[in-house]
Structure 1
Amino acid sequence: MTRWWLAGLAILLLWIAYGASPYVALYRISQAVQAHDTAALEQRVNFRTLRLSLTRQAHAAAVEAIAARRDLSPRERTILTEASGALAGPLVESLVTPATLIDLLDDGWPVRAGLARDAAPGGEAAAAPEAQRGGGALGLHASTFSQLFALFRSSEPRGFRGMVVSYPPDRPLENRFRLRLRLRGWTWRLVDLELPGALRERISQRLTGAMQR
């Protein structure tokens, strides 16, 4: 009887450890960001999948921005898609480096990538002073129990090995980042980061401006 009780307790503890593990990973990512520790961040990020994700977002934002201003034939959309894809790659390469990712996760804006806040449209420009007053209120913060609990409330499981967390949890959905973690082996890694609408718009402006030169 004691053996079965111990086995059940062991299973319960393993389940609790599994349930807590993605939030431990978020805590460690947050700590690496705050310490500007690129080596620690690299251990928790799959840069290949993250780069592919951001390339798709930048590419789609640019195509939709141009398509919204004019009617495009199927051939024109194909040409535009190819052109935006070629331009999105270098921009995303500048976004997805350890240092730039820290810059983005720290306060919600990748200044290192050349996306200056003062050049942003109205919604983004308004977000910059707010982030500065709040000590990076738009960034990923998971250093305290209350911050982790807020992220827990905004999390969505994706099967047994995946989880999506949206932050900041007190913002409207269109103004949040959506961060996806995936368990591989014994480590949860950041594999996808969906950008809020204002930042996607700023990236699309940069790409459409480059295509119109």
Structure 2
Amino acid sequence: MTRWWLAGLAILLLWFGYGASPYVALYRISQAVRAHDTATLERRVNFRTLRLSLTRQAHAAAVDAIAARRDLSLRERTILTEASGALAGPLVESLVTPETLIDLLDDGWPVRAGLARESGPREDAPGDTTATSRDASKKDGLGLNASTFGQLFALFRSAEPRGFRGMVVSYPPDRPIENRFRLRLRLRGWTWRLVDLELPSALRARISQRLTGALQR
């Protein structure tokens, strides 16, 4: 009887450990972002799948923007659509680095990648404009905040399981859906890694403007 009781307890502890493990991973990613620890972040992020995902999002946003333009002929739209597909990969490659990902997860906007907010400082303004924008974003609570039990619990409430080895978390949990990031973690071996990040509509639109602007040069 004691043996069965111990076996059941061991299974229960293992199940509890598995259930808590993605949130431990979120906490560690959040701490790496706060500490600007690129080495830890690189171990916790699959940059290849992340770049592929963001490339698809950037291209889709550019295609929508091109389709909405009434001043273009069908042939011109086709040409721009094909060109945006060719440019999306190199653009995202330059944007998705450990440093810019830290900037994005820290305050919700990759200012260091040259994507200044519409209402923020100009991209060509002299000096370091990232601090002001980052401080304003932190006040708005746009970053990945998973440093306290309350913040982790809020993320837990927004979590959506994806089978046994996947989970999607949307944040900030108190924002409308269109203003949230959707972060997907996947378990590989014994480590949960960030493999996908769905951007909020405002940021997708800003990247689309960057992409379509490059097409017009």
What are structure 1's unaligned runs of at least 5 residues?
A: 121-127
Instruction: Give the C-alpha shift of residue 135 in structure 1.
Output: 3.9
Closer, same or farther: CA 104–129 of 1 in aligned 2, 3 Å = closer
User: Which residue identity lines up with residue 101 of structure 1 in the other structure?
Assistant: L
Q: Percent identity?
A: 85
Instruction: Give the C-alpha shift of residue 82 in structure 1.
Output: 2.1
Distance 1:83 1:14 in 2: 50
Q: Classify the secondary structure of the residue corresponding to 1:180.
A: strand
Distance 2:172 2:83 in 1: 33
Instruction: Give the C-alpha shift of residue 77 in structure 1.
Output: 5.1
What are structure 2's unaligned runs of at least 5 residues?
A: 121-131
Alignment of 1:169-208 (within 5 A): 169-208=173-212
Contact between 2:169 and 2:183, CA under 8 Å: does it hold in 1? yes
Closer, same or farther: CA 170–3 of 1 in aligned 2, 3 Å = same
Q: Could you tell me which residue of structure 2 aligns to residue 61 of structure 1? A: 61
Closer, same or farther: CA 161–69 of 1 in aligned 2, 3 Å = same
Distance 2:18 2:99 in 1: 30
Q: Classify the secondary structure of the residue corresponding to 1:117.
A: coil
Q: Normalising to structure 2: TM-score of the pair?
A: 0.88
Q: Classify the secondary structure of the residue corresponding to 2:206.
A: helix
Distance 2:47 2:134 in 1: 29
User: Which residue identity lines up with residue 104 of structure 1 in the other structure?
Assistant: L
Q: Could you tell me which residue of structure 2 aligns to residue 158 of structure 1? A: 162
Q: Paired residue for 2:171, among 162, 167, 172? A: 167
Contact between 2:107 and 2:138, CA under 8 Å: does it hold in 1? no
Q: How many residues align?
A: 205
Instruction: Give the C-alpha shift of residue 90 in structure 1.
Output: 2.1
Q: Does 1:139 align with 2:143?
A: yes
Deviations 1:77-122 (A, max 9, x none): 54333200221122211221000000000000101111112477xx
Q: Classify the secondary structure of the residue corresponding to 1:140.
A: coil
